[in-house]
Structure 1
């Protein structure tokens, strides 16, 4: 299965934002060093304002504040898991040779991917942008176990300071970006290729009695139960 990992990240951010909006008292415990007035304003903001979590850049003021989730880059890891199928391929809990002959069994392969997800916080207020950046960081950390349960592993976070963007749209915007680096395994089926149907594979239903074992010039003759050179 090919994961749409940016949608997964977006859903986790939405999940935690929804939780915080219903439990705003946790703001005091989760975020240190802000003064009392700032925390009070943030609680009101989290509770009463809609924070748009999007997969594309905002074009109008109505979409701010926003958290934008983008796939910055992806790279296949050179130690990807598996490549093809042979007589030892295991699926459905048993050797593929035991699968029913009358059914088509697509060949599954796996790759390991390294990806960088960029979560950009946009608003027209520098303080709001900075605090939403911290909240986004919390969203990704608080759900890290859920990432691991989906085999999204080796995650790490990085980020930077505010980036004023005066020329992107027709009003002044502050942006701050958080990067999530991680690895995950994707599975896919080879187009039009099925187990037991390729020249390099044994047919479905093959047993050891159907195979002549040849090694170092010696062939085992099953009919005579003896060896021939």
Structure 2
């Protein structure tokens, strides 16, 4: 069941809405494997972070860097250019939750579309134009967003001031979405097991700290 939470992104309400569940921006990490097909360190770290959110009931500190801050600043202009170029009225939303997964689209478009905005340095914008395809580095996030929001297509806007804006549409790739679904289900199963183990550690620690138990162990 889809729930749309209308809040400003990167606010406390937004962080709370997405706490403890894998989100589309991290689906590439969820699907990752380590060298030789072993465990991925980034995947394991992400799982521990979500487990901490589930157990404490609080979101982890939001991570930002100069690239993310730049993206937030340029996003409104990129959205306006997209709206003008496509003659549409993108609808901003905060967070979309669907079961144990979620996404934060930059906008919804009409009844079936979505919008993802990426700001990239001029050389990377040129690379997008020369390649001409949907940027593969964003496939997991964007196809994952279509899966979460149950939408049919997504437009990606690659933007930098003064550069020709790159717009490319991708439709649902059901085969790839099936791979995402399988990976997310497996991730959530492992996440639930990790949460149970950590809570067991807590109960064991409480038991060992019980004065009666300490007396028995000491005797």
TM norm structure 2: 0.27
TM norm structure 1: 0.26
- Greater helix proportion: 2
Larger gyration radius, structure 1 or structure 2: 1
